[in-house]
Structure 1
Amino acid sequence: MNLSARLEESSKSHAMKPAYYFMGQSSTYGELNGAVNKFASGLEKLGLGKGDHIALVLGNSPHFIIALYGAMRAGATVIPINPIYTPDEIGYIMKNGDVKAVVTLDIMLPLVEKMHHHLPEVHHFIYCETGDEKAKGLQPEQLSAYSKLKSFSQVVSSGDTTYKGPDLQEDETAVILYTSGTTGKPKGAMLSHKNLYSNARDTGEYLKMNEDDKVVTTLPMFHVFCLTVVLNAPLMTGATLLITPKFSPQDIFKLAKEFQPTVFAGVPTMYNFLYQYEEGNPEDFSSLRLCISGGASLPVALLKNFEKKFNVMISEGYGLSEASPVTCFNPLDRPRKAGSIGTSIVNVENKVVDELGGEVPVGEVGELIVKGPNVMKGYYKMPEETAAAIRDGWLYTGDLANMDEEGYFTIVDRKKDMILVGGYNVYPREVEEVLYSHPEVVEVAVIGVPDPEMGEAVKCFVVKKGGSLTEQELTAYCSEHLAKYKLPSSIEFLEELPKNTTGKILRRALKQQVLQS
């Protein structure tokens, strides 16, 4: 079984049920599957098929879903790309990923015109008509890339609803996800049909997703968190997606009031924005049975404040692109442990090991490693990096964690983010948790900076509310909760913290800022 075949099954058992709502539009499962068939058939008529790499440079929309499932049904490998990446970033992924066709937005045509000469291996640019004001006046036939251009509607209309694609083997590559690349160029994690199908199935089962669920789909679809938890898993179970083109607290509350969603998934900054949104009515979230958090550690103070205000439980989990991504979630049938990432989901094994790969005792900190049908095949065209990441079948995550006696894991921090102060380990998350507990603090990021005496020192970046909170007051507050060597050497107040498109706070950007100053 694979995701494409599973959608085909859902289209038969839930033919007339809404698969998604999007900006006043909706589609049944039957209609969605028909569009997927036609897009896959249209690709085949363009000479694209099994083994070809197709990039999706798209935001959240039905186009993304149809292109994703259509390409997979045709046997192609999908490479999702963040549409706000720079031309250099997009160009690198397309070249490294051996892309033959691109599906993008009509507003991106000027970028296509600029780049297509440098991408001779890309034979087709398929653009989606958005109706966006920025796209008005663009005449594709006047572009030098015109011979490579096709509209999305042209490709779909040329296809056949009865299309039957090639047989797909479970170990064939379905998607290549390029990791953000904290050092050097991004790496392409190759995820097989088995990887993606098993993780969507097991995550949906763990979170008890069902056909009655209505899932808010506001996380970016090109990101693996959304791809598995908020797109593939719900579609496997016959749930309905409530798609928003981007995240905004105002839009989420409006959507909730109109559609009464049952599941919301977001990253910690989204929960912070929703909690801080003064016009947010807790009654609008009364239909939610579950909130899901991932992408970064959710501060315990924020978790408790959000749950108290909106009377809904947040289940925090953990994953990474190389694991399709989910490995852990806080269970729904047992007590949730605030601050933990929960227990291993079904069919996935997690353990904490030392530098030699030996399992550490309960409660001790080590590196989290993962094993299961969700672990990637490897990095595309990078055998050495693959060998370093996957050893004896175990994926080494690079995250530091511990496990308690009940099998609940807690992420302490990224291995590379640990701060060494005078020989003592300081984990940024521990300091951040203390700062988040202060009532005047909105957001926090903690990094290590060079120190001539101690090796490294703790530096904090804080976004505060409109009050008169000072560095001295906040340092004094920290001294009540932290050992002396963990105390901030300096606290800098900012209007906002740098974030990526999923809302994850970028510590590395702050480190670069410090090094350049």
Structure 2
Amino acid sequence: MTLPDLPDRRAAAAPTAPALADDTVTLNNADLLDRVRRAATALRGEGVGASDVVAIMLPNTVAFVVSLFAAWRVGAAATPINPSLTPAEAGYQISDAGAKVLITEQAVTDASVATVLSPAALFDTEPDVAQPNPISSDALALLIYTSGTTGRPKGVLLDHANLDAMCAMVIAAFALTAADHSLLILPLFHVNGIVAGTLSPLLAGGQATVAGRFGAQTFFDRVEAGRATYFSAVPTIYTMLCDLPAEVRPDTSSVRFAICGAAPASVELLTRFETRYGIPIVEGYGLSEGSCASTINPLHGPRKAGTVGPPLPGQTIRIADLDGAPAPHGTAGEVLISGPNVMRGYLNRPEETARTLVDGWLHTGDIGYLDADGYLVLVDRAKDMIIRGGENIYPKEIETVVYRLPEIAEAAVVGRSNPLYGEEPVLYVALNSGARISADDISEHMRATLSKYKRPVAITILDQLPKNAVGKIDKPALRRRDS
């Protein structure tokens, strides 16, 4: 298999070649293998093996990547957890995934996980002498949690075949070689950061630098110091970099390309960035359910601003009408995806899996059309989803929390335009008859349960929320009110 024995193969081929670095640690191939083997010893010591799940709740560090490889080495799967989640949010994921071990630097009060290991504990042991456990291609590799319209995040099941196929597609699309150096600035708890930013360059024989917290003022210093050849970012980051003072003139000669995804980027933003810094941006589209990416504007070929490019080789995009039949060419409809990268399904969610995977096609819920050249143009997203600075926010999750307040009769969250983050959530509520509660009280209630990036930036209390013809809350009317 490709991933479990990757550290071994790299160390055997070029032990002193650079492999992985973060803000404080630099590892060559031999160092990487040594750390992975030590972490594997720690996991085996806790009884972790085939079919188990290891939860990783770490910031962007070398330890995160080492933990991934160690889990795969002993035959387990990994579920990455956003370290900014509240204890309740993290506890839900740990419990739902059935994680046997949690690797984290944070204090944990949730008792749903059997063992908590710190990164230091992973490496304070002897290297594992066993070879990587044999793993079949259909063995679970990653359990990525994505917010759902039901209000609870659901686990996306990605097996080793999914990751092998997706990494091969990324390597081919960007012609990655041993000369490439990825600068990872996106979070590692997202599949993009794992696949495009880390695994693909390592598989290609290159290296990856895992940056900690992103800072626009220091970003190009990292590029110049490490001679990065590519990076992936979201429109918010490109906006921040474009807004740097005019006297900032970095040396970007090492950078072959940059990737833009997670949220739509304007043609003006892409042009402004490329013109100023001389770095071509390739815009793409993908979902966690598709292992990372399904379309990308070609690096060596026509890049069409306003599109997210043609399908990656090995994948097929189909546009379906309301009945699921193929839509006429050039007509907008739901984007369907098929390919070896498409997930196995959702963990313990057979009904949602059946609705999302139909006859081998992944139903994305996104609306788009294919132009005359086969490039995908997205015209809308899943009906309610808000994308704030590249982070997906589902209003239903927020509304579920708000409805726990007895004073609330109706609640609706919609997206409001923001020049930096693209969108931000705002909340509208109506109260039960005779009830009294302030916007500050509602905000305080959400603070205990929801991560900061999910919390609405404004709360408006109305006598009643607008309704459409069938009596449902009219969210388009609320969006117009807030535009």
Unaligned runs of 5+ in 1: 130-150, 419-427, 430-444, 448-457, 465-504
Q: Which residue of 2 aligns with 1:368?
A: 335
Q: What displacement does 1:417 show?
A: 4.2
User: Per the alignment, in what secondary structure is the counterpart of residue 344 of structure 1?
Assistant: coil
Q: Which residue is 1:91 aligned to? A: 91
- Measure the CA separation in 2 of the matches of 1:159 and 1:7: 13
Alignment match, 1:115:
110
Q: Does 1:57 align with 2:27?
A: no
Distance 1:347 1:463, change over 3 A: closer
Aligned residue identity for 2:116: F
Deviation at residue 363 of structure 1 after TM alignment: 1.7
TM-score, with structure 2 as normaliser: 0.80
Task: Report what 1:81 is aligned to.
Answer: 81
Q: Is the Cα contact below 8 Å between 2:42 and 2:122 reproduced in 1?
A: no
Moved more, 331-340 or 354-363: 354-363
CA displacement, residues 29-58 of structure 1 (integer Å, 9 cap, x when unaligned): 222123212222331122111111110001
Q: Are the counterparts in 2 of residues 378 and 386 from structure 1 also a CA contact under 8 Å? A: yes
- The equivalences for 1:7-406 within 5 A come to 7-105=7-105, 108-109=106-107, 112=108, 114-116=109-111, 119=112, 122-129=113-120, 151-154=121-124, 157-160=125-128, 162-278=129-245, 281-406=248-373
**Structure 2: how far apart are the matches of 1:41 and 1:460?**
49
CA contact (8 A) 1:38 1:163 kept: no
Q: Distance in 2 between matches of 1:295 and 1:363?
A: 24
Preserved contact between residue 253 and residue 280 of structure 1 (Cα < 8 Å): no
Structure 2 CA distance for partners of 1:513 and 1:171, relative to 1, 3 Å: farther
Q: Percent identity?
A: 33
Amino acid at match of 1:152: L
Question: How much has 1:344 moved relative to structure 2?
Answer: 0.8
Task: Give CA-to-partner distance per residue, 1:200-248, whole Å, 9 cap, x none.
Answer: 1111111111111111111111111111100111110111112211211
Whose helix fraction is larger, Structure 1's or Structure 2's?
A: 1
State the distance in 2 between where 1:181 and 1:8 align. 38
Measured in 2, the distance between the counterparts of 1:459 and 1:180 equals 16
Aligned length: 410
Tell me the alpha carbon deviations over residues 85-116 of structure 1, each in whole angstroms, 9 at most, x when there is no partner. Answer: 011100111111111100001xx12xx1x223
Counterpart-to-counterpart distance in 2, 1:33 and 1:459:
45
Secondary structure of 1:174's counterpart equals strand
The one-letter code sitting in structure 1 at the alignment partner of 2:78 is V
Structure 1, residues 120-171: CA drift from partner, whole Å, max 9, x if none? xx22110125xxxxxxxxxxxxxxxxxxxxx2233xx2332x3213210101
In the TM superposition, residue 4 of structure 1 has moved relative to its aligned partner by 1.7
Residue 461 of structure 1 aligns with an amino acid whose one-letter code is: S
The whole-number CA distance in structure 2 between the counterparts of 1:311 and 1:509 is 37
Structure 2: how far apart are the matches of 1:279 and 1:257?
18
Distance 1:20 1:383 in 2: 38
CA contact (8 A) 1:401 1:409 kept: yes
* Deviation for aligned residue 1:72: 0.9
Does the CA contact (< 8 Å) of 2:38 and 2:123 recur in 1? no
Tell me how far apart the structure 2 counterparts of residues 10 and 459 of structure 1 sit (CA, whole Å): 46
CA distance in 2 between counterparts of 1:395 and 1:170 reads 20
Distance 1:241 1:360 in 2: 41
- Which amino acid letter does the alignment assign opposite residue 309 of structure 2? G
